Amino acid sequence: MRPVPLLLGSVAALVSLGVAVLLFRAFGATEVGFGPRGYTVSSDRSVQIVFEVDKDPAATALCSVRARDRYGSEAGTALVRVGPSAKRHLVVTYDLATTARANTGEITGCTLDRP
């Protein structure tokens, strides 16, 4: 086997591995876990959404919540800031104002708030 193609193949493999590691760090690592706990329709203009967040206690997460009406249309949305705390696992309760009576209340995602 010739040494030049072997060397080029090895360099290409190392570069590919480096790029894969960088992409995983930027986009693949889950730094915030979240999940629904439930919701309560408080009135025709409000729904209380309860959800869980798992994150580094020193970090701040931004979580998106949404309410839908009986037809499935969006009746309200908000971005909820979950700040630093003493615990890793938090249960958050948020009162979301709605434009119509909600049929559901849900959490749609969480990300870390990067300064």
In this structure, the answer to whether residues 23 and 46 fall within a common structural domain is no
Q: Average pLDDT for residues 59-67, to the nearest whole number?
A: 98
| Count of beta carbons in the 10 Å neighbourhood of residue 38 | 10
Give strand pairing partners of 40: 48
Clarify whether residues 37 and 16 are in a common domain: no
Is residue 6 domain-shared with residue 52, that is, in the same domain? no
Structural domain boundaries enclosing 17: 1-30
- Tens of pLDDT, residue by residue over 79-111, are 999 999 999 999 999 999 999 999 999 999 999
Q: Check which CATH number belongs to the domain holding 62 and give it.
A: 2.60.40
Q: What's the number of domains the chain is made of? A: 2
Q: Tally DSSP H helices, then E strands, for the chain.
A: 1, 6
Pairing relationship of beta strands 104-112 and 89-97 according to DSSP bridges: unpaired
**Per-residue confidence (pLDDT) for residue 27, from 0 to 100:** 52
37 in the same domain as 26:
no
Cα–Cα dist 80/78, whole Å: 6
Residues 9 and 53 in one domain: no
- Both tokens of 14, joined, read 């190392």
Interval 34-48: pLDDT, tens: 999 999 999 999 999
